[in-house]
Structure formats: structure tokens, C-alpha cells
Chain A
Amino acid sequence: MTTEELKKITANQIVDARGTACPGPLLAAKKAIGDIESGEILEILSSDEGTKHDIPRWCEKMEHDFLGILEEDSYSRLFLKKA
């Protein structure tokens, strides 16, 4: 997805994992994904650099659709669609 497309997304759930280090954001995502339905969108806020590699890899394995990353000043917004 392009940056413009990502900016238009309204996530069904946003989980704020800023200020936690590995594996905090991953565990937050795992917890939140249970609360949404298949096809819904989850947004993860993370200030941990490694999350940008971890979440796409996790999505690959769990068969969720990773949509992309939006960079903010001091954190990233990661979007995924639940399988």
C-alpha cells in the first residue's frame, strides 16, 4: 500500500505499544488480534525499531495481511489485516 492509502485507513483497533521493547509490541499485537474479526484492521504503535521487521515476519507466518508502515516523529504505525 502507498503512504497515501495507509493514511486513509481507519483501523478497527489501535494498540499502543510505544515505550515497550522486544517482545512487548509483538505480544501486544498477539493480544489485540484476538479481539478483532477476520478482515478487520489492526494498527500497532511502536517506538521499537525491531518491530518494523518483526511484525511483517509475524504476519507472514500467521497469514495476516501486512499492509505497511507509516513513520511518525518518534514512533511507527504498523497496519495489518487479520486473516
Chain B
Amino acid sequence: MNNEIENQILELQKKLGKLEKGTKDQLSMVVFSGDLDKILAAMIIATGAAAYDMKVKLFFTFWAISSLRDPRKSVSGKNFISKMFGVMLPKGRNKIKLSKMNMAGMGTAMIKGLMRKHNVASLDDMFKTAGELGIEINICEMSMNLMGFKAEEMIDYPHMNICGVATFLADASESKVQLFI
């Protein structure tokens, strides 16, 4: 009788182990948009999740990669089209614009003023906090290349990797929460 119970407990422990491995207390987010409002939302959710002791992994792809460019860095050896893209796309998180009501930059300037008034942390502060909280930023290599960006022109961030869709899928399949912004 005792043996049977013991066996059942062992079986349950095994199953529990599998379950724990299956979904971690983790947030995986695809950050696709390069708009100020959407990057802001992504960073607020990400830092909030880290406060819940969740592991946070952000997968930056397409337009969002512009927000990771460091305006102080310039790279050589780009072809004409890549250079054009580089000029046309915002150089860093302080150059990105609102998705709505931008009004030739007036709306973006106004929202930044309102953020200060309402004590909303700036993107600079949020990226700093994210780094301190161990939030991982993974950059999609394919879209980075497509847009003519190079890894060398990205910001200095303590937990940054260049990777592919397989990394995102592996992270997302282990995460309790997945988002696309």
C-alpha cells in the first residue's frame, strides 16, 4: 500500500517537473512597431513584468529596430540602399514618432512634454531600468540586415543578442505570456 502511494507521488513529481519546464514565469514580446507610443507601451509592460519577477525577453524586429540605434555610432561599408534606409529611418529612440497625431513632429513634442508633466519615465530611463532588471533584448538578424542596419550601430545594452525566429519561438513556447506590439 505504502509502495503504491510512493510510486504515485514519484509519478506526480515527474509530471510536475515537466509542467514547470513547459511554461516558465516568463514574458515574450515581439516588438515590431517603431512608433514612440508602442515602444513606450512595450517598455512599460516589460519593466512591470520584471517587477513580478518574470523573466522578460523582447524580440525586436522590423521598424522597432530603429529605436535601438545609437545616434553616436556610425558604421562604414554600407551599400547605397542601406545608406538610404539609414538616413530615412529614425536614428534611435529619441527620434521615433507617435503612430497617430504626429502632426509633423508637433504631436510627438507635445506628448514628450505631457510625459514630463505626468512624471512618466522617458525612454532613456526605461531602457536603463530594463537593463538593471535583466530584461533581455533580442534583435532579429534577418530584419536588421534587411533594413541595412549593422549590429555595431546598436545601443550599448547589457543583455542584447542578435538572433533569429527560432530563438523567439523557443522563448515564446516556454512563456506564460506572449505579446505582439
Which A residues fall within an 8 A CB radius of B? Answer: 19-24, 26-27, 29-30, 58, 61-62
Chain A interface, >50% SS class: helix
Which of B9-17, B44-52, B146-154 lies at the interface?
A: B44-52
B51:A20 contact, CB within 8 angstroms? no
B120: interface (CB < 8 Å): yes
Chain B nearest CB from A47 CB (Å) reads 8
B109: interface (CB < 8 Å): no
**Residues from chain A with Cβ under 8 Å of B51 in the complex:** 23, 26-27, 29-30, 58
**Residues from chain A with Cβ under 8 Å of B52 in the complex:** 58, 61-62
A24:B119 contact, CB within 8 angstroms? yes
A61-B52, A62-B53 as given contacts; A22 in contact with B44, CB under 8 Å: yes
B121: interface (CB < 8 Å): yes
B50:A30 contact, CB within 8 angstroms? yes
**Residues from chain B with Cβ under 8 Å of A26 in the complex:** 48, 51
B84-109: contact bitstring with A at CB < 8 Å (1 yes, 0 no)?
00000000000000000000000000
A20:B44 contact, CB within 8 angstroms? no
Chain A nearest CB from B23 CB (Å) reads 15
**Residues from chain A with Cβ under 8 Å of B133 in the complex:** 27
Chain A nearest CB from B49 CB (Å) reads 9
B129: interface (CB < 8 Å): yes
B48:A21 contact, CB within 8 angstroms? no
B48-80: contact bitstring with A at CB < 8 Å (1 yes, 0 no)?
101111000000000000000000000000000
A21:B121 contact, CB within 8 angstroms? yes
A30-B51, A61-B52, A62-B53 as given contacts; A23 in contact with B119, CB under 8 Å: no
B118: interface (CB < 8 Å): yes
A21:B53 contact, CB within 8 angstroms? no
Chain B nearest CB from A51 CB (Å) reads 12
Assembly CA distance A10 to B48 (angstroms): 28
A19:B53 contact, CB within 8 angstroms? no
Assembly CA distance A61 to B54 (angstroms): 11
A27:B47 contact, CB within 8 angstroms? yes
A21:B47 contact, CB within 8 angstroms? no
